[in-house]
Amino acid sequence: MRKVTIVGTGAIGASWTALYLARGFNVVATDPAPNAETDLRRFIDSAWATLEVLGLSPNASRDHLEFTRDMKQALADTDFVQESGPERQLLKVKLFADIDAATPPDSIIASSSSGLTMSIIQSRCRHPERCVIGHPFNPPHMIPLVEVVAGTKTSPETVQRALSFYRSIGKKAIHVRKEMVGHVANRIQGALYREVVYLIEQGVLGVADADAAVCWGPGLRWGVMGPNMLFHLGGGQGGIQHFMDHLSGPVSTWWKDLGTITEMTPRIKRTIIDGVLKEAGDRSIEELERERDTVLLQLLAARAQAEHAVQPDLLDVADRIP
């Protein structure tokens, strides 16, 4: 695959575009918004220093980007489509049908949809067998995870091709074997956040302390290993067997006491908004993004070093992004 088409250049589409350019692809992007091209090129310029730290492929170049408002033109002769349009079901179904009609039949059409199922999205496509979910975590040019999910009409070959393609560009692609609304990572994230909101709503702790409880506790460990492997270590010398035999009972007790909050009331929305703004202080969104990206780069570099796949100077990244 050499030509990638990005349909929709909002936050997710722009981040995908930057990544594909950094991996040496020819990228054609399309979006009907009036300032789409200007905003896209500005984002790529801003993200490029970060991508340089992460490592550029030999053919990487921002000059390999072409922008057009003509979606049919953008899709002509493409090898891979990364759709990142608005998360609205009717729009997405029509958009996929239009993309399907305009692309070569052997190309793959992947959707960045964060929650819709591919069975619905592909329902009006003439070639649904080459349509698949390729859901990233934001920002895609930095966070490695991609969830690959088939629809009922997606071929097994397409799933394997998509997994291989994403892995070839350095993504941690996982195969979600069963369709569920929200896929997997967002469901996990949503379950955690529901309990966070419940604890705040119950007055157990404030917004800033809730954030601290996650990022300075389990969040640090989750950046190293997943919960199953961590509980294997939590079982001591007996490993996961000891954990299941002796510690799974207390965990089950916690489950029974978890919050059952099912909606964001106006009061809890206001509490969280006020708490977040107080926690952010005078730091702008741009400053907070830089703080996030600097720490993410350091974490990614540490992970890569642990896997013996990074140059030592990659760890010194704090002053190398704008």
Rounded Cα gap, residues 220 and 215, in angstroms: 6
Which H or E run includes 162?
helix 156-168
Find the mean pLDDT for residues 47-59: 94
Q: Does the reported pTM lie above 0.95?
A: no
Whole-number Å distance between alpha carbons of 6 and 25: 12
Q: Which residue's entry shows tokens 């069963």?
A: 178
DSSP 3-state assignment of 170?
coil
Cβ-contact 119, 151 below 8 angstroms: yes
> Residue 145: exposed, middle, or buried by beta-carbon count in 10 A (0-12, 13-18, 19+)?
middle
Q: How many CA atoms lie less than 13 Å away from 224 in the CB half-sphere?
A: 11
Mean residue pLDDT of the chain comes to 93
Q: Is the pLDDT of residue 139 over 50?
A: yes
Q: What pLDDT does 312 receive?
A: 46
Provide the CA 315 distance to its chain's centre, in angstroms.
23
What mean pLDDT is predicted for residues 153-159? 98
In the structure encoding, which two tokens stand for residue 315, read together? Answer: 């760890």
The amino acid that residue 10 corresponds to is: G
Q: What is the helix (H) or strand (E) element at residue 259, kind and residue range?
A: none
What's the token pair of residue 312? 């030592």
Does the structure show a pLDDT above 50 at 318? no
For residue 304, what pLDDT band results from cuts at 50, 70 and 90? confident
User: What are phi and psi for residue 154, nearest 5 degrees?
Assistant: -75, 135
User: What domains appear along the chain, each with residue ranges and CATH number?
Assistant: 3-176 (3.40.50.720), 185-281 (1.10.1040.10)
Alpha-carbon distance of 6 to 16, in angstroms, equals 8
Q: What integer pLDDT is reported at residue 167 of this predicted model?
A: 97
Residue 141 near residue 198 (C-beta atoms within 8 A) = no
What pLDDT score does 308 carry?
63
* Residue 316 pLDDT: 53
For the segment 231-278, what is each residue's pLDDT rounded down to a tens digit? 999 999 999 999 999 999 999 999 999 998 889 999 999 999 999 999
Give the tens place of pLDDT for each residue, 24-33.
999 999 999 9
Q: Which helix (H) or strand (E) holds 313?
A: none
